[in-house]
A = this chain, B = another copy of it.
């Protein structure tokens, strides 16, 4: 821990499976950090939220009166204390106006999630809104933001306001189908995890074509494994291409206008999305996501503690 600067706040990204904490000074410089597997799932049963937070703060010798800002699943209904969703359209600079504060020995603020009710189909996000606040803090106030993962979020961001968004279950479907469905018999569980580019591209093109049917095309992965001898990484790449292609086909409303899609994901996943979006005729570029949550939390802390 850097002791030259005074701690300004503790910032916590509290997800379903992971806990991450940063101590920062008033400039946002990191003075110390902690991370563990004490996510919401691990803390909810015994309501260990307060203890986990305090233990981690003490491990960094944080002052007793240091305030804390939290984003993510700690604010879910099954979390520490529910921080109700803010409805779209909503300005990301106003997230701090909707925090909740659980009982604790210090000031703790949990940021809200965002929901869509009246401006489009029902949808929710919790945690991503703080990443989006980090995107805005980084200078991108308008554009299409695509956040791949277990549940991929596509967001129409306009002058710092989340206008509308949609979620696709792409990552979760990939896990379920590749590990637990009949397709697992045609997808090697270890070995070559590189992308078979021809198989990926063909699957994306298939998913973008008229009359595409996801549940039917998926079964062809199994049939292909029985009727031919695919290369080791071919079936997984076809599955990935069908699912990402189906997602991109369903999100045309976001990029049909020609707006650039900014992708927040790991380098390899980002490359797949750019590849697929290019096949769909969209403009796409990756956006460094490594500090987004922390930047979003810091922006909220500045609003809360500086004003």
Contact = CB atoms under 8 A, between A and B. Distances in A.
Contact of A117 (B168, B176, B227): B227
A121 interface: yes
A124, A151, A212, A249: most-surrounded residue (chain B CB, <10 A): A124
A216 B247 contact: yes
A115 B151 CA distance: 35
Given A115-B223, A122-B220, A220-B122, A213 B182 contact: no
Nearest to A150: B182
Nearest to A76: B226
A122 B227 contact: yes
A227 B219 CA distance: 34
A176 B179 CA distance: 11
Interface stretch (A31-39, A90-98, A250-258): A250-258
17 contacts: A116-B223, A117-B227, A122-B223, A122-B224, A122-B228, A151-B219, A167-B216, A169-B181, A169-B182, A172-B181, A172-B182, A173-B181, A173-B215, A180-B180, A211-B252, A214-B246, A215-B250
